Amino acid sequence: MNTSQVIHTEACVRAMARQEAYDARWPRRCKQCFGAGGGYYSFGPSPRGSGAPSLAPGTMQDFDTCSCVDNGQCPRCGEQLAGPKWRPLNFRTQLGYHVGRLAVHAQHARPQEVVGRAVYWRALAAFRENPNPWTWALYHAADHAWTVIFSRNSLPTWLAHRLWNFQGLLERGGFDDLPCWHCGWNWNKSPGDAREPHECECWVAGFEADEARLLELLELDGLQRVSVLLVMRSLLGGG
């Protein structure tokens, strides 16, 4: 137990003052990222497993955005990052998501692709249920036809191409790393965007002093016990 009075250093006092001023100015800052907007993490680029090939030595680093940024909120002031533009921007982003899903359906809605996929799966099911030369020949022909159809239909259709272009137009500016409209927070690129909570370590000196004092007392107690045993042995021996 630390019984010594904690004496803060001058640097620690200044750091605590800056921390209190920052917290008082931004009381609604995110409690998870502390204004950083996310955090970096390291990972190995090589796949796991003893037999997997090693792609590169060392680790790679990536950045994950915090939930506050994912919800469109500023990590520092707590307001919407886009300010008054948030509602129309959110509407365009949601509309672009549905347009993108419609484009995927339009990409795979070609008549030859639908018919080819259906014939392929029926031929495969027939060959599995009754494997014979006829079903194998039907499956082989359907597999070849499906491969040709899929290779020719790799390019987007006219409708899917137009829909994806429209989606890009709707989502334009929705994922740009723009500064906060309210407080100017700039994705942890400017001074004052974020501040990690100050961790005082001034207690370490007092803890080490208490530890040294305890070891000294234990050593004295051990010496006293040894001296008592020696005295008792001398008395017993002399008797």
Q: What is the per-residue pLDDT across 8-22, written as a single tens digit (0 to 9) for each? A: 777 778 888 888 888
Predicted confidence at residue 239, as pLDDT, reads: 47
Question: What span, in angstroms and rounded, lies between the C-alpha atoms of 68 and 24?
Answer: 20
Q: What is the pLDDT, as a whole number, of residue 154?
A: 66
Distance CA(42)–CA(166), nearest Å, equals: 36
What's the CA gap between 78 and 180, in Å, rounded? 10
Q: Domain residue spans in the chain?
A: 8-39+61-81+178-202
- Residues of the chain falling short of pLDDT 70: 1-7, 43-58, 152-154, 173-176, 202-210, 223-224, 226-239
146/150 Cα distance (integer angstroms): 6
Report pLDDT for 149: 72
Q: What is the pLDDT of residue 1?
A: 47
Residue-level pLDDT at 215: 74
Regarding pTM above 0.95, the answer is: no
Contacts 24+ apart (CB under 8 A), 80-87: 80/181, 80/182, 81/178, 81/180, 81/181, 81/185, 82/178, 82/181, 83/180, 83/181, 83/182, 84/181, 85/181
What's the Cα-to-Cα distance from 15 to each of 6, 11, 165, 194, 218, rounded to whole Å?
16, 6, 51, 14, 38
